[in-house]
Amino acid sequence: MIGCPYCLLPGGRGWRMAGKQGLFDTDEEFIEHIEMEHDLAVRREDETEEQALARVKAKNPRIGTKDCRCPSCMLKRMAEWLKREVEG
């Protein structure tokens, strides 16, 4: 079993859901999950970063938009929300 670190973190989506959410039997299932659910491109063998990003963006157009769910974008949105809340 391979566990998704983003889903299985306390408070992560998989943490709150029953069943096998966030657990995968194969590397390929895990990589597909990372690319489609967490908007992260995982380089395949003989693939550049640019090629990987282009391949994943073709399947998942959300990447790089305001709805992107990569950890970096989610953290930016959370920081912006906190700043608005503190500044009132």
- pLDDT tens for each residue of 27-78: 999 999 999 999 999 999 999 999 999 999 999 999 999 999 999 999 999 9
Residue 20 vs residues 36, 62, 77, 80: alpha-carbon distances, Å = 17, 25, 28, 32
Q: What single DSSP character describes residue 43?
A: P
Q: What is the CA radius of gyration of the chain?
A: 15
Give the pTM: 0.78
Domain with 43 in it:
2-87
Q: Distance between CA 33 and CA 38 in Å, rounded?
A: 7
Q: How many domains does the chain have?
A: 1
Neighbours of 35 (CB within 10 A): 19
